[in-house]
Amino acid sequence: MNLHVAADAPQGFLSPTGVEIAFVLVGLVTLGAAIITVTTRQLVHAALWLVVALGGLAVEYLLLTAEFIAWVQVLIYVGSVVVLLLFGLMLTRAPIGRSPDADSGNRPAALAVALAAAAALVWVVVDAFRTQWIKLDKPQGTTDVTGSVLFRHWVLPFEALSVLLLAALVGAIVLSRKSKDEPGGNGRQNRNGRPTPKAPRAQSDPKAQSAQTSQSGQTSQSGQTSQSGQTSQSGQTSQSDQADQTERTR
Amino acid sequence: MHLAYPAVLAVLLFCVGLYGVLARRNAILVLMSVELMLNAVNLNLVAFDVWLRDALHSGQALTLFTIAIAAAEIGIGLAIVLAVYRNRGTSAVDDLRDTAELPDDGGDGDDDGDSEGAAAEEPDEADEPGVSAPAKASQKAEATA
């Protein structure tokens, strides 16, 4: 491990390099976007400021010479996760304008906890890593290095992760299926793979009623039409209507 | 680069996400704050990986795994939020108090408007405070069927 100590380090606190200046500027943008994300009262704006925060983090990864992680960050977070969050906001009918109840009642407690945690952790981290520098002379996270390491040393966790993604996919599909007993969801019952036990009973009710009306005709003609119309429900009802009309004409 | 810069930025991002998780009311905004916390952890992992020059690049591999797990988490979380919204008509985490132990009455007062049909026909089962949403939906379905 090429660790530096403060004595022979070429850098210092008051002589920041260009990479450090860029890191701090992008970090300020990222932090500001994150703060707006958790404090804004417009829900869609929160998702869009989250894009700025995650994109800023991708730039930080690039400045730390981890380019593959940076592009994966752009691809997955900015590309898919924020889109998923926007879909979730739209599907739950989130208000477009300002919503006054975006924050819950325990906001002062949350602020106190967050400020206390930030103060304690910043103090500990600055005190612990005061004399450590990162050498950025050689890129550490190119796609070549990351790919070879990932598929040579980390291939078993990688495969386990693919199984986890499959389980998450199946779980999301199962959770987001329409419930079979939901009112108003009758049009989507046929799209489910399983026929619901309630659906044939609901469809059999008009059949029984039309059969009763055709049997009430008591004529041989209406009985034949009701037996011939057993294939389709609509055909049966139309033929039973014809049987009723013939009955009325008699 | 000084190591304190990415470490302090990760700490601040984590605390911003912590505030969002505790203070937000909409479940999807809570999920956004969880994403911020996970990204703070990712920044820490990448920074320490580059600092230590790990031969196996454990930090970057773990960052990739964390990103994939976060994607799975956001999918499952949104599916749960949508199921709750379909059953309850709200996605505010403050309104989901079915398992709260109220001192005065054992019933769940927030859920009366949702389970009117079940409460009208099966009042003894609808007044249980610990019944979750799918169980209630199935009870209501059995009651109406």
Q: The domain spanning residue A89 has which CATH number? A: 1.20.120.1200
Mean pLDDT, all residues of chain B: 78
Alpha-carbon torsion (A15, A19, A22, A28), positive or negative: negative
- Decide if A47 is inside a domain: yes
Q: Is A114 in Cβ contact with B18 (below 8 Å)?
A: yes
- Decide if A220 is inside a domain: no
Q: What is the mean pLDDT of residues A47-76?
A: 94
- Decide if A56 is inside a domain: yes
Q: Is B22 in Cβ contact with A66 (below 8 Å)?
A: no
- What is residue B101's predicted lDDT score, i.e. its pLDDT? 79
* For residue A243, pLDDT beyond 70: no
Q: Which of A11-20, A66-75, A136-145, A237-246 has the lowest mean pLDDT?
A: A237-246
- Decide if A200 is inside a domain: no
- Decide if A59 is inside a domain: yes
- Decide if A51 is inside a domain: yes
Which of B29, B53, B96, B114 to mutate to test binding with chain A, by most A CBs within 10 Å of its CB?
B29
* For residue A229, pLDDT beyond 50: no
Residues of B in contact with A47 (CB under 8 A): 32
Pairwise pLDDT comparison (B45 vs A241), residue with the higher score: B45
Both B16 and B63 in one domain: the answer is yes
CB-CB: which of A105, A157, A168 is closest to B76?
A168
Residues of B in contact with A102 (CB under 8 A): 24-26, 29
Both B86 and B116 in one domain: the answer is no
Q: Is B1 in Cβ contact with A17 (below 8 Å)?
A: yes
A248: tokens are 């009325």
Burial class (CB in 10 A: 0-12, 13-18, 19+), B123: exposed
CB-CB: which of A60, A61, A110 is closest to B19?
A110
- What is residue B117's predicted lDDT score, i.e. its pLDDT? 41
- Decide if A182 is inside a domain: no
Residues of B in contact with A36 (CB under 8 A): none
Tell me how crowded residue B14 is: count the other CB atoms within 10 A of its CB. 23
Question: Looking up tokens 């797990």, which residue turns up?
Answer: B69
Both B78 and B132 in one domain: the answer is no
Total tally of structural domains belonging to chain A: 1
Residue type at position B75: G
- What is residue A59's predicted lDDT score, i.e. its pLDDT? 95
Residues of B in contact with A135 (CB under 8 A): 53
Total tally of structural domains belonging to chain B: 2
Question: Rounded CA gap, B1 and B5, in Å?
Answer: 8
Q: Does A52 touch chain B (CB under 8 A)?
A: no
**Is the confidence metric ipTM above 0.85 for this complex?**
no
Q: What is the residue range of B113's domain? A: 109-144
Q: Does A160 touch chain B (CB under 8 A)?
A: no
Pairwise pLDDT comparison (A176 vs B6), residue with the higher score: B6
Answer whether B69's CB lies under 8 Å from A160's CB. Answer: no
- Decide if B24 is inside a domain: yes
Q: What is the mean pLDDT of residues B1-9?
A: 92
Residue type at position B32: M
- Band of pLDDT at residue B40, cut at 50, 70 and 90: very high
Residue of A179, A41, A45, A89 lying closest to B91 (CA atoms): A89
pTM summary value: 0.69
- What is residue B94's predicted lDDT score, i.e. its pLDDT? 83
- Decide if A43 is inside a domain: yes
Pairwise pLDDT comparison (B134 vs B74), residue with the higher score: B74
Residues of A in contact with B89 (CB under 8 A): none
Which residues, at least 6 apart from B76, have a Cβ–Cβ distance to it below 8 Å?
A: A168, A171, A172, A175
Answer whether A47's CB lies under 8 Å from B32's CB. Answer: yes
- What is residue A104's predicted lDDT score, i.e. its pLDDT? 81
- Band of pLDDT at residue A76, cut at 50, 70 and 90: very high
Minimal CA separation from B26 to chain A, in Å: 6
Both B64 and B118 in one domain: the answer is no
* For residue A236, pLDDT beyond 80: no
Report the percentage of chain B scoring pLDDT > 70. Answer: 71
Minimal CA separation from A2 to chain B, in Å: 7
Residue type at position A67: E
Residue of B84, B53, B89, B57 lying closest to A132 (CA atoms): B53
Both ends of chain B: CA-CA distance in Å? 68
Question: Rounded CA gap, A66 and A128, in Å?
Answer: 24
CB-CB: which of B18, B25, B71 is closest to A104?
B25
Minimal CA separation from A155 to chain B, in Å: 10
CA distances from B141 to A82, A184, A245 (A): 35, 13, 39
- Decide if B100 is inside a domain: no
- What is residue A179's predicted lDDT score, i.e. its pLDDT? 64
Answer whether B44's CB lies under 8 Å from B10's CB. Answer: yes
Which residues, at least 6 apart from A123, have a Cβ–Cβ distance to it below 8 Å?
A: none
Question: Rounded CA gap, B137 and B84, in Å?
Answer: 11
CA distances from A182 to A17, A36, A205, B33, B137 (A): 62, 38, 19, 32, 8
Q: What is the residue range of A79's domain? A: 13-101
Both B21 and B77 in one domain: the answer is yes
Q: Which of A49-63, A219-233, B78-92, B102-116 has the lowest mean pLDDT?
A: A219-233
Burial class (CB in 10 A: 0-12, 13-18, 19+), B73: middle
- Decide if B101 is inside a domain: no
State the CATH number of the domain containing residue B72: 1.10.287.3510
